Amino acid sequence: MAHGLDQIKRPIAQELETFEKRFRDTLRSPVPLMDRITYYIVRRKGKQMRPMFTFFSAAACGGITDATYTAASLIELVHTASLVHDDVVDESYERRGFFSINALWKNKIAVLVGDYFLARGLSIALEAKQYRTLEISSNAVQALAEGELLQIEKARRLDIDEAIYFEVIRQKTASLIAASCAAGAASATDNEETLTLMHAFGEKIGIAFQIRDDLFDFGLDQVGKPLGIDIKEKKMTLPLIHALNRASRSERRRMIRSIKKYSNDPKRVEEVLQFVRESEGIAYAEAAMHRYRDEAFVLLRQLPPSEARTGLEQLVNFVVDRTH
């Protein structure tokens, strides 16, 4: 049964509140402009997904410590830096209904703010002598960049096969959730096997999370994002890849042409959406998403039962069952 996020986070609600305060303090800067921008960023906090994974993972692997707060801050700084930089690269002027940094200020400022966040993350990890956590998050930043570049390289031709798709999302989406879980575990235990386990767990959840996002594009639920937006942005999603793989050569050519050349034509976009719906691409992607979720549960159940482990299970179900 799916629980709401507020209900799921109840066991760590106090810690998350303390974390928010400490995170804000981490971002204080003597430069007024930086202070204004960071205040603006912190004010529009999202679902707190990554901190929840970090705190639950720590609690499930030995207990929340002071180091857990540093770990959660580090991941959040890396994540925020990547979003700010992404908006510059994508020339995106809105993010979740708010103006993005580059819309309100300028690209140069957005790049500097992203750099500042990354450097701030390095500083707090080094101050706390949390080298393992620093290693985990640095690997995630590297993976983010590689995944993004791999996607750009392959997207031009739109002939992404499934193996490439999974490699891209493993690096782009899953690496940060994997880092959240591994960093949380590292704040509670030195056991390398446990860290590897939690990293693998987070990776599988991250992949399931991305497939859920792909499915929103085909309008099965009441969705936060507009229908067909991935197609308009020429993003290859798992349902579409599966549909193209099963199509005849002429149909495949027509669909790829629609995406490449006519992504602003609502009729052609609707035709692509319909093509995917009729080709079992959606059922195929849903099955893949549930497979990753089940594999994540197998890993998670290697940890002893606890309130935190249950929290992680509920969080996983939320990720897979969410409607926005």
Range with the poorest average pLDDT among 76-85, 153-162, 173-182, 193-202: 153-162
The CB-side HSE value for 64 (13 A sphere, CA atoms) comes to 20
More confident: 125 or 45: 125
> Which stretch of DSSP H or E encloses residue 99?
strand 98-99
Range with the poorest average pLDDT among 3-7, 39-43, 273-277, 295-299: 39-43
Band (pLDDT 50/70/90 cuts) for residue 127 is very high
More confident: 100 or 304: 304
Give yes or no for a contact between 160 and 150, defined as CB atoms under 8 angstroms apart.
Answer: no
Per-residue model confidence (pLDDT) at position 314: 95
Per-residue model confidence (pLDDT) at position 188: 97
Band (pLDDT 50/70/90 cuts) for residue 111 is confident
Which of 311, 26, 63 has the alpha carbon at shortest distance from 186? 63
Per-residue model confidence (pLDDT) at position 159: 67
Quick check: 79 pLDDT over 60? yes
Q: Which residues of 172-191 are buried (b: 16+ CB within 10 A; e: fewer)?
A: bbbbbbbbbbbbbbbbbbee
Record the tokens describing residue 133, joined without a space. Answer: 């956590």
Record the tokens describing residue 278, joined without a space. Answer: 């009729």
Quick check: 141 pLDDT over 80? yes
Quick check: 225 pLDDT over 70? no
* Residues 5-321, CATH architecture: Orthogonal Bundle (1.10)
Residues 6+ apart with CB under 8 A from 39: none
> Which stretch of DSSP H or E encloses residue 254?
helix 249-261
> Which stretch of DSSP H or E encloses residue 98?
strand 98-99
Give yes or no for a contact between 100 and 94, defined as CB atoms under 8 angstroms apart.
Answer: yes
Average pLDDT over residues 75-89: 81
Quick check: 197 pLDDT over 80? yes
Strand pairing of 98-99 and 94-95? antiparallel
Average pLDDT, the chain: 87
Record the tokens describing residue 291, joined without a space. Answer: 């497979």
The CB-side HSE value for 202 (13 A sphere, CA atoms) comes to 32
Amino acid at 143: A
Average pLDDT over residues 80-100: 65
Per-residue model confidence (pLDDT) at position 311: 96
Q: Is the pTM of this model over 0.75?
A: yes
Average pLDDT over residues 68-90: 84
More confident: 81 or 100: 81
Quick check: 17 pLDDT over 80? yes
Quick check: 52 pLDDT over 80? yes
Quick check: 155 pLDDT over 80? no
Average pLDDT over residues 234-250: 89
175-186 vs 66-89: helix axis angle to the nearest 10? 160
Quick check: 76 pLDDT over 80? yes
Give yes or no for a contact between 178 and 199, defined as CB atoms under 8 angstroms apart.
Answer: yes
Quick check: 233 pLDDT over 90? no
Average pLDDT over residues 180-193: 97
Quick check: 223 pLDDT over 60? no
> Which stretch of DSSP H or E encloses residue 94?
strand 94-95
Most confidently predicted of 58-67, 144-153, 313-322: 58-67
Band (pLDDT 50/70/90 cuts) for residue 1 is very low
Which of 180, 181, 149 has the alpha carbon at shortest distance from 167? 149
Q: How many helices (H) and strands (E) does the chain have?
A: 17, 2
Quick check: 221 pLDDT over 60? no
Q: 3-class DSSP state for residue 31?
A: coil
Quick check: 323 pLDDT over 80? no
Which of 289, 58, 25, 16 has the alpha carbon at shortest distance from 174? 289
